[in-house]
Amino acid sequence: MARLTVFDRATYSSNLRCLTRNGSIMTAAEECETDARWMREALRAAHEANERGEVPVGTCIVSGEVVLAIAGNRTRTDQDPTAHAEIVALREAARKLGNYRLTDAVAYSTIEPCAMCAGALIQARVRRLVYGARDERAGAVESRFRICDTDFLNHRIEVTPGVMEEECRTLMQEFFRARRENQRMKTDGRMKDEG
Q: Supply the residues annotated as catalytic.
A: 86
Strands 128-133 and 66-72: unpaired
Q: What share of the chain is helix, strand, coil (3-state, %, to 5)?
A: 45, 15, 40
Q: Does residue 143 sit in helix, strand or coil?
A: coil
Write the burial class of residue 2 (CB in 10 Å: 0-12 exposed, 13-18 middle, 19+ buried): exposed
Positive or negative, the Cα torsion across 93, 164, 46, 80? positive
Write the burial class of residue 58 (CB in 10 Å: 0-12 exposed, 13-18 middle, 19+ buried): buried
Please give the Cα distance from 86 to 94 (Å, whole number). 12
